[in-house]
């Protein structure tokens, strides 16, 4: 059972700000390398098995390397995973929704999607602060357990849509067991 998913966490201190413990399952942990450092993400294979399997598959194909954070809204979230950088692209394989009871707290990782609940592909976002309006509406598949300060440092977008000019990008994203 995931120890982070149902905690009532504030913005000041959460698992996302903690150091990564030595008890992580490396097959279900991602290392997201950003310009400012490593972000460690614990995956939720028990809650979103198809999403976790697909994200790991894409990581093992180096799919996410160099992809930009095309939509970043200060105080809300940073979105990435579109190889076109426009917010309109993906890997070409839609995933059926795996909505779960995970709360969107600081550092929660969820799949972006269109209006169709079964339209998630490769795009995902990481929330900066609790976002309860997303709970049960998007598939949460992981939680940042270390390095959230590096996510906070991602270049923010302008306007309500958060479109970023000259955006930051993912350096690499790997399954920890492969590193």
**pLDDT tens for the 179 residues of the chain, in order:** 444 444 433 333 355 665 655 689 999 999 999 999 999 999 999 999 999 999 999 999 999 999 999 999 999 999 999 999 999 999 999 999 999 999 999 999 999 999 999 999 999 999 999 999 999 999 999 999 999 999 999 999 998 899 999 999 999 999 999 99
CA–CA distance, 158 with 164 (Å, rounded to integer) = 6
CA–CA distance, 166 with 154 (Å, rounded to integer) = 11
Asked if the structure places residue 6 within a domain, the reply is: no
What CATH number is given to the structural domain containing 94? 2.40.100.10
CA–CA distance, 45 with 26 (Å, rounded to integer) = 12
The residues pairing with 124 across neighbouring beta strands, listed in sequence order, are 80, 111
Asked if the structure places residue 13 within a domain, the reply is: no
Res 21: pLDDT:
53
Asked if the structure places residue 32 within a domain, the reply is: yes
Domain containing residue 34: 19-178
Global model pTM greater than 0.85: yes
Res 148: pLDDT:
98
Res 23: pLDDT:
82
Distances (CA, A) of 4 to 7, 109, 130: 6, 12, 13
* Torsion sign over Cα 12, 149, 109, 29: negative
| Tokens found for residue 164 | 């970023």
Task: Count how many domains the chain has.
Answer: 1
Give Cα 59 to chain centroid, integer Å.
13
Beta-carbon contacts of residue 84 (< 8 Å; ≥ 6 apart): none
Asked if the structure places residue 134 within a domain, the reply is: yes
CA–CA distance, 89 with 6 (Å, rounded to integer) = 32
Asked if the structure places residue 67 within a domain, the reply is: yes
Asked if the structure places residue 5 within a domain, the reply is: no
């Amino acid at each position: 059972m995931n120890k982070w998913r149902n905690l009532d966490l504030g913005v000041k201190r959460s698992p996302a700000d903690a150091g990564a413990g030595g008890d992580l399952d490396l097959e279900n942990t991602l290392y997201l390398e950003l310009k400012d450092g490593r972000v460690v993400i614990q995956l939720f294979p028990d809650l979103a098995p198809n999403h976790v399997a697909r994200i790991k598959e894409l990581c093992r194909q180096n799919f996410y390397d160099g992809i930009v954070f095309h939509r970043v809204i200060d105080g809300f979230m940073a979105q990435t995973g579109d190889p076109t950088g426009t917010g309109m692209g993906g890997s070409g394989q839609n995933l059926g929704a795996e909505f779960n009871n995970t709360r969107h707290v600081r550092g929660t990782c969820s799949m972006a999607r269109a209006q169709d609940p079964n339209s998630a592909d490769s795009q995902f976002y990481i929330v900066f602060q609790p976002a309860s309006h997303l709970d049960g509406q998007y598939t949460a598949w992981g939680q940042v357990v270390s390095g959230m300060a590096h996510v906070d440092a991602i270049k923010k977008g302008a306007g309500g849509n958060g479109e970023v000019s000259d955006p930051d990008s993912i350096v690499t994203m790997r399954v920890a067991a492969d590193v």
